[in-house]
Structure 1
Amino acid sequence: MNLVITGGTSGIGFETVKSLYPSFSKIILPVRNLEKAQNLISQFKEPEKFHCIKMDLSSIKSVDEAGKLISETYPKIDLLINNAGGMFPGNKITEEGLDWTFAVNHLGHFHLTNLLLPNITKGKIIFLSSEVHRIGKLNPKDIGLINSKNSWSKYGSSKFYNILNSNYLDSFQNSNEIGFYSLHPGAVRTSFGSESDILSKTIISLSKLFFISAKKGAETTVFLAKTPSDKLQSGAYYKNKKPIRPIKDSEDLQLQKQLYDFSLMKVKEILS
């Protein structure tokens, strides 16, 4: 069985990899830092299980190159976990002219998922969202979040986008062969927020006393990965290993399609 996971070299992602390592014959890690990834996998008993591929989620061109390589190398993918993400300064823009939060938390995973979707027959796709999605929204005039300068609202909207995308794919596929899930991992003690603005860093730092461990934060992801699909609810949003209802707008098919169409347009613009 083949697993693809982003953000698999730190925090929740690394704990997820450690938990799922025995269950997969190949673990594909699209990573920004190949040297860091190689050092981490050397601690595993079978490092040859891993395939590290250079990929920067903030660059759609990088995602395109890595995604096509993965697709060509692994005709069958059993599980894709879109785990990577973070909170970034409100005015941070990528080299391709995208808002950094939009690119890393949504559009990079959007494109990677679309590239790998044909390979994921009878498999699962998991999106790590957050309860912060409840302060998020989709503004038709600023879907790309380029005009918003508030780190928290951008982060909340990007996590809302993860649920919208998961739900739209679940409806769009119209098939029981692929399970689509989004989840809240919990407030986790990781490097989350280390690249955000000073105020956000301070708030997160003061709150970490009440945060859970990365291992605990990985539990719902691991639960979704290991539980048979017929015992899960595709298109659902999970928290503490149980489906709960996200904000009502996440069920709005029109919003889902708006996000999908806009995202597809942005990818095509960058790659054309």
Structure 2
Amino acid sequence: MTILLTGSTSGIGWETLKSLYDQADQWILPLRNIRKAEDLFRELPDQDRLKIYEMDLSSIQQTHKIAQEIKSNHPSIDILINNAGGMFPGGKKTSEGFDMTFAVNHLGPFALTKQLLPCLSRGKSKVIYVSSEAHRIPGLDLNDLLLENYSSTITAYGAVKLFNILTAKYLSEQGYHTYALHPGAVKTAFGAETDPISKAIIRATQLFFISPRKGAETTIHLAKNPTKNLESGAYYVRKKVKKPSQLARSKSLSSKLWNQSEEALKKLGL
């Protein structure tokens, strides 16, 4: 089995990798910090099964390039886990001009997944998105799905977590086994790069957060269980299906998001 996991060097991603490690013959690990990864992965046995790629989801062009390399080297992928994400100051832009929260949580994973679709078998492979109950945060501007005019950190984060569910929904309708999930409020370094107010809110509530190991449980559940025991296109909380927001159930919005995301890639020449 071949598993691709983003965000594997901290928090939920690291716990997911450790828990599922023996399930795969090959691990594909796109990540930002190669040195950190090499130090961390020393505790894993049989490191020959690890294939590490340096990739920054905030750079869509780089993500596209690395995805092409992965596709060339790994023609068959059994499970793709879009785990990496983050919360950034409202209005912060990438070098390509996208909202940082939008790029890291949606457009980067979108570019990666779209490029790897030929490696994923309809009816067999799984695509898993780590979303959040934050997708219920109101304030999405349906006329600004690329988040070009967002200044609120919280509203932007809620929007991209909604986009995770909508993307899973769209792919499910194309015949892929896809799942989105809420990991819970997890005590990690999440939010370290956001604005001071949001950072203070996160720190003030962390006493009530669960461990990264606990937060990884639903991802592990979806990766391990046969597709016949799971509901494709569904949103999972605590390893069970839960109805997401009304917007997250919109077929027309999922199609609109997919089309506008494709247009964003085309404008970059991808």
TM-score (norm. length: structure 2)? 0.97
Question: Which of the residues 243, 246, 252 maps onto 2:241?
Answer: 243
Distance 1:136 1:232 in 2: 29
Distance 1:45 1:240 in 2: 29
Distance 1:68 1:147 in 2: 31
Q: Which moved more, 1:157-166 or 1:143-152?
A: 143-152
Counterpart of 1:93 in structure 2 is 93
Counterpart of 1:135 in structure 2 is 137
Distance 2:111 2:60 in 1: 7
Contact kept, 8 Å, 2:184 with 2:210, in 1: the verdict is yes
Distance 1:109 1:157 in 2: 15
Counterpart of 1:10 in structure 2 is 10
Counterpart of 1:193 in structure 2 is 191
Aligned pairs for 1:115-126 within 5 A: 115-121=115-121, 122-126=124-128
Counterpart of 2:77 in structure 1 is 77
Q: Which amino acid aligns with 1:130?
A: S
Counterpart of 1:156 in structure 2 is 158
Q: Deviations over 1:23-66 (max 9, x none)?
A: 10111110111111111112111111111101110011111111
1:138 positional shift = 4.2
**Percent of aligned pairs with the same residue?**
48
Distance 2:250 2:127 in 1: 20
1:141 positional shift = 2.3
Distance 1:14 1:98 in 2: 28
TM-score (norm. length: structure 1)? 0.96
Question: Which of the residues 146, 149, 155 maps onto 1:144?
Answer: 146
Structure 2 portions without partners, runs of 5+: none
Contact kept, 8 Å, 1:136 with 1:155, in 2: the verdict is no
1:179 aligns with 2:164: no
Distance 1:67 1:38 in 2: 21
Contact kept, 8 Å, 1:193 with 1:201, in 2: the verdict is yes
Distance 2:60 2:45 in 1: 34
Query: Which SS does the other structure have where 2:194 is aligned?
Result: coil
Counterpart of 1:258 in structure 2 is 256
Distance 1:37 1:51 in 2: 11
Give the superposed CA RMSD: 1.0
Distance 1:154 1:217 in 2: 22
Distance 2:222 2:162 in 1: 19
Q: How many residues align?
A: 268
Counterpart of 1:56 in structure 2 is 56
